[in-house]
Structures are given as structure tokens and as C-alpha cells.
Amino acid sequence: MRSAPTTSADLTDPAFVADPYPLLDELRAAGPVVRQDSGRWLVLDHAGVSRLLRERALGRVWRDREPTDALEPFNLLHRHQMMENEPPDHTRLRRPVAAAFNRGHVERLRPRVRSLAASLLDEAVASGPSFDVVAAYAEPLPVLVIAELLGVPSSYAPSLRDWSQAIVRMYEHAPSPAVVDAAVAAAEDFAGLVTELAAERRRTPPEDRPADLLSDLVATELSDVEVVASAVLLLNAGHEASVNVFGNGLVGLLRAGLRPAADVAVTVEEMLRFDSALQLFERTATAPVDLGGGLVAEPGDTVALLLGAANRDPAVFADPATLDPARSPNPHVAFGAGVHFCLGAPLARMELTESLTLLFERHPDLALADEPTPRGTFVLRGFNAVPVSLGVESPR
């Protein structure tokens, strides 16, 4: 068995978090698979990440965060989420959600997305020629959309944003006690709201239920806790992915002085690739797994698939460090692959295309007004604030 290149690289180092790509390029050049001193495998090439995302002997093995009792609200949601389970449980949890998505909910929402985006943009520009495009536009839009998709009243949108951000901070390395406490409180409040709304749906005769995803879910064989976990996952994933892809991609465009291609959907794919919102997806070997090149992960080994590194693999993408708004084809892995391929990908793509189109139709001279403020996290990479100036507004 061949030995792997090893690294002592610290993926929590602030310099790395600020710009991970030089080190990821260096590690990939050392070998498509390297091993950290901790024993965790890092897979960095596009071919390896694509293949291992589909590898059935690599699973998502949920382990309750300790101390278990204190973190039970957080653990309970994750224990019953499709993302943290493998077939057959994953299949059982995913099937009803996928079926509900396939009933046309996403396309039904397209006119509503356009309307919400227009209203948010009107509000953002009303106070002057510059604003924070994340806080005023990119962040509230997907929360409002996913809330409407599920049937959560829009009055809860600010709380949904806060809860989501608190929960996902737990996915970073070694969260602080304050982060843990906030995540537990958010999970408890989030689950409480969805439990109440689901109970209302169950009390309502099927023919009188609203046409939303939550109504579809309570009509399935999923248990109460599984319905809640599925709804919370959709709200979290639907919010975080869209916000961070929009912010990261927009900053890339504006720093380079670029504009979307004529086919904005093509530019959205490049935004997904260029500065991936989800950088790392961990799986655990349940049997010996061929990592390639004679390297084998043994049962129990953790394998980190570095999506951002795969999306800048020069073996697949010409000039990968350059954002090309018209790049096509674009076989990025930003949404994953295999059984854990992102269920909300069609919704995210639609939201991003509609919101980006409207922003540049109205404000073709958009520019950065100040240096963006990064979130300072690696697993979920994004910006807390992106100040922009508008230039001259185009006729509507």
C-alpha cells in the first residue's frame, strides 16, 4: 500500500480561512489525496471528489455532540435529517421531500421570487446610492422564498435567519461555548415553531390545507420529529447556500469588473464553482475505501471531500482561478453528487438567476463601495456584508 503525502496544515488558521485557495492548490499539487497529522484524509482533485461523493462505503455517520443532554435539541434535529443518514433511512427520509419538490413548487414560486426581489431592491435603494447587498437583498430573499415554499409566515423571516446562522456555526471546527449555546437555543426555537405549524396542518382536513411543502410532508409516512427535521434542514440549506453563493460570486464579479453573461444562468454556475459556499463535506468509511493511487481509507477513517479545491482543479477547468461569467461547460461539484446531491439545487439556481438578473438590469454600473466583510468561517464560506454603490439606475 502506498503512503500518502502528509500535511500539518491548519484549516482553521485565519490566513487560510481568509483565502484558502493557494494552500489548497499547493496540497493538490503534492497529491490529489493527502493526510492530515490528525489522520483525516483530504481529497482535493475533481475526479476523486466526484467519485467519492458517490461511494456507498463512505457514509454520513451522525454522532451526537457532547454533552448529549445539554445539546439534545441540536442533536435531535440532526439525528433525523436525511443529510446525516445513509440508505435505507436516507432513502425513506428523502423520498417524500423529493416528491413534494417534484409537484412543481419551485416553478410555482418563480413569479413570487421576482416580485420579492423587486420589493427588496426598492427598499434597499430608497435610502441612498449605496447599501449592503447581503443584508438588504441576498439574505432576506431566500429566507422569504423558502418560508413561503414551506408555508411559514413571513413575519418569522428575521427569526429564521438568526436561527439558521446560529445552527450552521456549529459546523465549523471547535465552536466556542457561546456558539454552542446559541445553536442549541436556535434549534429549540426553530423546532418549536415548525412543530406548531405541522400540528396545525394535521388538524386541518387535507382538502383545506394550504398548497405548501409542509402540508405535503405531514401527509406522508414521516414521523412528527422527521417532518420537523426535514423542514428545518430545508430552511437552513435553502438560506445558507443561496446567500453565500450570491455574495461570493458577486464579490468575484465586481472585483474583476465583470458583468453576468447574456445567459445569466451560465454565470450562476460559474459563481457556484469559483468560490464555493460549501467547501468541505465529511464522510466516514464504513468499509475499506479505495481513495485512488493505492491509498485506502480503513473503516472508521474520516474522509474530507474539499469541494472548493475540486472546483479549481486545473485538470478540469482552464484557468481555474479566473472567474469566467460565460464558462461552459461547467462540471462543478458545488451541490455535491450521489445520494446526498442537494435537493434544493433547482430552487437555489432559480433564485440566484432571478435575483442576479434583476440587480444588473436595474443597476448595470453596480460596484463595490467598500471592502466586503467576510464571515471568517471555512466550511461554509461567505460574507457578512458586501457594500455596493449603484451608479445610475436604468429604467424599469
The model's pLDDT over 286-314, given as tens digits with 9 standing for 90+, comes to: 999 999 989 999 999 999 999 999 999 99
Cα angle vertex 177, ends 171, 182, to 5°? 70
Rounded to 5 degrees, what angle do the CA atoms 129, 133, 135 make?
120
Give 191-207 pLDDT, tens digit per residue.
999 999 999 999 999 88
Question: Of 299, 307, 273, nearest to 42 (Cα)?
Answer: 307
Catalytic residue numbers read 237, 240, 242, 342, 351
pLDDT at 99: 81
Instruction: Using alpha carbons, list the distances in angstroms from residue 391 to 128, 251, 388, 394, 396.
Output: 11, 17, 9, 9, 15
| pLDDT reading at 157 higher than 50 | yes
Residue 51 has pLDDT above 90, yes or no: yes
- Predicted confidence at residue 128, as pLDDT, reads 84
User: Rounded CA gap, 180 and 169, in Å?
Assistant: 8
Q: Which pLDDT does position 259 carry in this prediction?
A: 97
User: What's the rounded Cα separation, in Å, for the pair 350 and 46?
Assistant: 25
pLDDT higher than threshold 70 for residue 383: yes
Q: Domain coordinates of the chain in residue numbers?
A: 6-389
- pLDDT at 369 exceeding the cut of 60: yes
- Nearest CA to 120 out of 135, 110, 108 is that of 135
Task: Quickly name the fold that domain 6-389 has.
Answer: Cytochrome p450 (1.10.630)
Q: What is the pLDDT of residue 394?
A: 42
Reported as a pLDDT band with limits 50, 70 and 90, residue 211 is confident
HEC per residue, the chain: CCCCCEECCCCCCHHHHHCCHHHHHHHHHHCCEEEECCCCEEECCHHHHHHHHCCCCEECCCCCCCCCCCCHHHHHHHHCCHHHCCCCHHHHHHHHHHHHHHHHHHHHCHHHHHHHHHHHHHHHHHCCCEEEHHHHHHCHHHHHHHHHHHCCCHHHHHHHHHHHHHHHHHHCCCCCHHHHHHHHHHHHHHHHHHHHHHHHHHHCCHHHCCCCHHHHHHCCCCCHHHHHHHHHHHHHHHHHHHHHHHHHHHHHHHHCCCCCCCCHHHHHHHHHHHCCCECEEEEEECCCEEEECCEEECCCCEEEEEHHHHCCCCCCCCCCCCCCCCCCCCCCCCCCCHHHCCCCHHHHHHHHHHHHHHHHHHCCCCEECCCCEECCCCCECCEEECEEECCCCCCC
pLDDT at 112: 92
Query: 151 with 142: CB under 8 angstroms?
Result: no
pLDDT of residue 326 exceeding 90, the answer is yes
Whether pTM > 0.85 for this model: the answer is yes
- Asked if pLDDT for residue 3 goes beyond 50, the answer is yes
In the prediction, which pLDDT does 1 show?
A: 57
CA pair distance 96, 221, nearest whole angstrom: 8
Radius of gyration for the alpha carbons in the chain, expressed in angstroms and rounded: 21
- Mean pLDDT (the chain) is 92
Q: What is the pLDDT of residue 289?
A: 97
Q: What is the pLDDT of residues 57-77, one digit of tens each?
A: 999 878 898 888 899 999 999
The mean pLDDT value for 259-268 works out to 98
pLDDT tens per residue across span 87-141: 999 999 999 888 877 767 778 889 999 999 999 999 999 988 899 999 999 999 9
Q: What is the mean pLDDT of residues 221-237?
A: 89
104: Cα within 13 Å, side-chain hemisphere: 2
Report phi then psi at 336, rounded to 5.
80, -160
C-alpha cell, 123: 427598499
For residues 274 and 258, give the distance between their C-alpha atoms in angstroms, rounded to a whole number: 14
